[in-house]
């Protein structure tokens, strides 16, 4: 399967008044360059079951152990064990439950008011889920094959202009025109002045602007106690950019809402199918596809 590479020309202008210079403006032009043959993995059979297994395994392996710790020495007692208690001994005709010191009220037992949890989480529990290497690779290849189907990408919720004729989008040559002088750059290493604005203008001209707007407007405050634990906002997943090496372009696009960047060597099924849902809107650089070959 052959796909045309997108060549990008960015014309940069800046007006100047007596009071000073105005904001820089970007005029991006995208043209189709030479065609490039996609790697064979893009023709792999789509296996949704393998993708879901791989994503579940990745999420489980990242899960951190949590649980209560026993009260030892000066260590703070866990919840429900913060009382001074005593046991009355046998022969009193009452249940053998720890009582608060000097009182009849039970404490620390799971079925007493304010007592500990009966079977709480333990730190030593192993949450990891093993997956064979061939299954993991097959899941990644299946997720890659799903990025080619425009119907699958649209069904996942991504939006793009009607001018987009094929997926995936491949970034090729990049050049800038300043004061009539044209300078060509490696698109992965450009990071010279207003880089994030340039990247947003490029994505918009490629027809991916509606998806960036969807992620920006869909950002909301997360419900529940997670807002108190550093996970305040929840942003929908937008474009995935695959590069050969994380350089200037990766730093430029990572500030766009919902956009993720990954190196070709680190690409996995979870990057291409977050949550196990196939068909993420993916953009590749020409160097990344050559590295995948």
**Interval 235-279: pLDDT, tens:** 999 999 999 999 889 999 989 999 999 999 999 999 999 999 999
Alpha helices in 123-282 (DSSP H): 133-146, 150-155, 195-205, 209-217, 248-253, 269-272
Reference 174, options 285, 39, 61, 43; nearest CA is 285
Q: Residue 102: CB partners within 8 Å, gap ≥ 6? A: none
pLDDT at 170 (0 to 100): 94
Q: 94-142: per-residue pLDDT in tens?
A: 999 999 999 999 999 999 999 999 998 988 899 999 999 999 999 999 9
Give the whole-angstrom CA distance, residue 259 versus residue 261. Answer: 7
Q: 129-184: per-residue pLDDT in tens?
A: 999 999 999 999 999 999 999 999 999 999 999 989 889 999 999 998 888 888 88
pTM check: above 0.75: yes
Higher pLDDT, 76 or 132: 132
2-61+127-222+232-292 CATH choice from 3.30.390.10, 3.40.50.2300, 3.40.1370.10, 3.10.450.50: 3.40.1370.10
Phi, psi of 26 (to 5 degrees): -120, 130
Whether residue 261 contacts residue 243, with contact meaning beta carbons closer than 8 Å, is answered with yes
Q: What is the mean pLDDT of the chain?
A: 91
pLDDT at 18 (0 to 100): 62
Peptide bond into 168 cis (omega under 30): yes
Token couple for 145:
């094959």
pLDDT confidence band for 281 (50 / 70 / 90): very high
Q: How far is CA 265 from CA 181, 228, 259, in A?
A: 36, 35, 18
Sign, CA dihedral 235-239-240-243, equals negative
Give the whole-angstrom CA distance, residue 130 versus residue 143. Answer: 19
pLDDT of 21 higher than 80:
no
pLDDT of 19 higher than 70:
no
186-213 average pLDDT score: 89
């Amino acid at each position: 399967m052959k796909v045309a590479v997108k060549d990008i020309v960015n014309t940069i202008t800046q007006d100047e008044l007596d009071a000073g210079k105005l904001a820089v403006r970007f005029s991006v032009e995208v043209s189709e360059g030479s065609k490039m043959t996609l790697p064979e993995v893009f023709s792999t059979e789509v296996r949704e079951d393998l993708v879901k297994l791989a994503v579940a395994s990745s999420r489980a392996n990242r899960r951190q152990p949590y649980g209560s710790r026993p009260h030892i020495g000066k260590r703070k007692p866990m919840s429900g064990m913060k009382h001074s208690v005593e046991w009355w001994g046998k022969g009193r005709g009452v249940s053998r439950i720890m009582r608060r010191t000097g009182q009849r009220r039970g404490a620390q037992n799971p079925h007493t008011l304010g007592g500990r949890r009966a079977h709480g989480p333990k730190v030593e529990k192993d949450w990891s889920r093993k997956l064979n290497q061939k299954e993991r690779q097959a899941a990644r290849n299946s997720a890659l094959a799903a990025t080619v189907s425009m119907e699958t990408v649209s069904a996942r919720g991504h939006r793009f202009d009607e001018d987009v004729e094929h997926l995936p989008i491949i970034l090729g040559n990049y050049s800038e025109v300043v004061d009539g002088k044209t300078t060509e750059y490696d698109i992965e290493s450009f990071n010279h002045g207003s880089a994030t604005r340039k990247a947003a203008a490029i994505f918009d001209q490629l027809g991916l602007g509606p998806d960036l707007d969807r992620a920006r407007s869909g950002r909301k405050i997360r419900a529940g106690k997670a807002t108190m634990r550093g996970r305040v906002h929840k942003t929908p997943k937008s474009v995935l950019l695959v590069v050969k090496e994380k350089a200037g372009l990766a730093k430029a696009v990572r500030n766009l809402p919902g956009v993720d960047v990954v190196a070709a060597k680190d690409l996995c099924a979870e990057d291409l199918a977050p949550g196990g849902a196939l068909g993420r809107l993916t953009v590749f650089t020409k160097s990344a596809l050559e590295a995948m070959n």
